[in-house]
Amino acid sequence: MVTATETKKVQIEIFRQDTPESTPYWEKFEVNYRPNMNVISALMEIRQNPVNADGKATTPVAWDMSCLEEVCGACSMVINGKPRQSCSALIDQLTQPIQLAPMRTFPVVRDLQVDRTRMFDSLKKVKAWVPIDGSYDLGEGPRMPERKRQWAYELSKCMTCGVCLEACPNVNSGASFMGPAPLSQVRLFNAHPTGSMNKDERLNAIMGDGGLANCGNAQNCVVACPKGIPLTTSIAALNRDTTVQMFKNFFGSDHMVD
């Protein structure tokens, strides 16, 4: 006897693109429903048996994934018009047909796979790391006050998924704005006792083209962020910090006090 669960189908429409230069197109698929399925598991079913809804053999769908625990940020895509992680997108909570498309803020490599180099280049520009002089053991670093540690930890949850950049209307191929994620990382690493040694460099990096001035305060980013990071709060704090930095640059840091 065939149960209802075994006969139930999941309808999926995927916006595909064979190469970065080729014309994109929609392709429909059907996969067997299972309880607790997420979008990734449905894509795995399609990859295992690449046959579209018309019964025609097709190429396996390309997408990125890694941890499957909403930690790595690799599986970002647009699901039913909303940028999010496909590993945490449950089939039972989505309206069918489920439409999957790549994030258009980034160049498409193939199908749902995109090139997020733009975001990583911005992180390099703002030196989103704590520099260490030498590879030897330096011992314990300076302690961070608990109150500061608590809000800094929230910023450290960023997994460079790119969802906030996709949601931001000011981040596109025709604009140089680096987006909310790299800006928030400036605030995070400037708050670190050791990272603050490069505070001036990071602030100067976001005071030029593509930095804070290009933010239109749409606030889409903080709504879209899957980790609930207070991105707009970081941007507001950086506006204050860059104003101070501007005066330090003009008058000379020797005459200014933080």
Q: What is the pLDDT of residues 184-212, one digit of tens each?
A: 999 999 999 989 999 999 999 999 999 99
Q: Is pLDDT above 60 for 255?
A: no
In this prediction, residue 140 carries a pLDDT of 78
Q: Is pLDDT above 90 for 53?
A: yes
Q: Is pLDDT above 70 for 11?
A: yes
In this prediction, residue 152 carries a pLDDT of 95
User: Nearest-CA neighbor of 214 among 230, 198, 235?
Assistant: 235
State whether 241 and 171 are in the same domain. Answer: yes
123-141: average pLDDT: 83
Confidence of residue 2 (pLDDT cuts 50, 70, 90): very low
State whether 51 and 23 are in the same domain. Answer: yes
Count the domains in the chain.
2
Half-sphere exposure of 36 (CA within 13 A, CB side): 0
In this prediction, residue 254 carries a pLDDT of 54
In this prediction, residue 81 carries a pLDDT of 96
Boundaries of domain holding 19 = 7-114
**Cα–Cα dist 86/37, whole Å:** 11
Does residue 2 lie within any of the structural domains? no
17-21, 142-146, 162-166, range with the lowest pLDDT:
142-146
**Cα–Cα dist 81/99, whole Å:** 8
* Percentage of the residues of the chain whose pLDDT score is greater than 90: 85
State whether 172 and 225 are in the same domain. Answer: yes
**Cα–Cα dist 238/214, whole Å:** 13
Q: Is pLDDT above 70 for 122?
A: yes
Whole-prediction pTM: 0.88
Q: Which domain CATH number covers 25?
A: 3.10.20.30
Q: 119 CB contacts (<8 Å, ≥6 apart)?
A: 106, 160, 162, 165, 178, 179, 181, 182
Q: Which two tokens stand for residue 163?
A: 């969802």
Query: With b meaning 16 or more CB within 10 Å and e meaning fewer, what string describes 47-57?
Result: eeeeeeeeeee
Does residue 37 lie within any of the structural domains? yes
143-157: average pLDDT: 92
CB 29 within 8 A of CB 100: no
Q: Is pLDDT above 50 for 1?
A: no
User: Nearest-CA neighbor of 76 among 102, 47, 115, 96?
Assistant: 102
State whether 139 and 192 are in the same domain. Answer: yes
